[in-house]
């Protein structure tokens, strides 16, 4: 599984919580993922909602996705087109929800620090980031960062398109 960024969204703050990713005021409205995408990160960066495109990546600090266990915080970014999120760390429940929804996450403090430190250069250059999940490698310019590869089951869930699709496949195979 490989991804190459379209645009890089750099959110250097730590503890960006699920209420910022998907505003809590929309939590109990029956929105489709596409409707949720129109509100993704709107309280953090209004330009995100207007400019995000399929294939974009997010680079973040520590504990991205802190807060509640609401899956909308994953679904809205995925529906907005985010292909991958690289952060120093993720809240555990956010990480699990992302696997369930097949939104690839990468834990790489070194890569996150490099991107945040070089934010102006990378944003103005629109530098592409390549993420290779099979080999646990991120490439930016001449820089190469490694990250812990996902275990086989998590990788299979991603490749199936999420936990629901993976479960359907496994149930079909077991018959």
Cα separation, 71 vs 73, in Å, equals 5
Partner residues linked to 64 by β-bridges? 90
Q: Is the pTM here over 0.85, yes or no? A: yes
pLDDT at 22: 94
Measured at the alpha carbon of residue 140, what is the angle toward residues 77 and 124, in degrees to the nearest 5? 75
Q: Which domains does the chain have, with CATH numbers?
A: 2-174 (3.20.19.10)
User: pLDDT truncated to tens, each residue of the chain (175 aa)?
Assistant: 777 778 899 999 999 999 999 998 998 888 999 999 999 999 999 899 999 999 999 999 999 999 888 889 999 999 999 999 999 999 999 999 999 999 999 999 999 999 999 887 776 656 688 999 888 999 998 899 999 888 888 888 988 989 999 999 888 887 7
Cα separation, 15 vs 174, in Å, equals 41
Cα separation, 91 vs 66, in Å, equals 5
pLDDT at 142: 87
Phi, psi of 17 (to 5 degrees): -95, 170
Polymer length of the chain? 175
Q: What are the tokens at 156?
A: 């299979």
CB atoms within 10 A of CB 142: 5
């Amino acid at each position: 599984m490989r991804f190459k960024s379209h645009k890089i969204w750099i959110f250097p703050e730590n503890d960006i919580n699920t209420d910022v990713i998907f505003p809590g005021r929309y939590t109990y409205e029956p929105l489709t993922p596409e409707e949720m995408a129109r509100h993704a990160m709107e309280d953090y960066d209004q330009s995100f909602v207007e400019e995000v495109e399929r294939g974009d990546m997010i680079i973040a600090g520590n504990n991205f996705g802190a807060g509640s266990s609401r899956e909308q915080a994953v679904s809205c970014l995925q529906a907005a087109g985010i292909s991958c999120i690289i952060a120093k760390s993720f809240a555990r429940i956010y990480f699990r929800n992302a696997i369930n929804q097949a939104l690839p996450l990468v834990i790489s403090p070194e890569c996150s620090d490099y991107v945040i430190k070089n934010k102006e250069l990378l944003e103005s250059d629109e530098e592409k980031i390549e993420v290779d999940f099979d080999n646990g490698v991120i490439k930016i310019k001449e820089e190469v960062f490694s990250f812990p590869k996902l275990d086989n089951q998590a990788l299979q869930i991603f490749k199936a398109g999420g936990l629901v699709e993976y479960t359907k496949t496994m149930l079909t195979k077991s018959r």
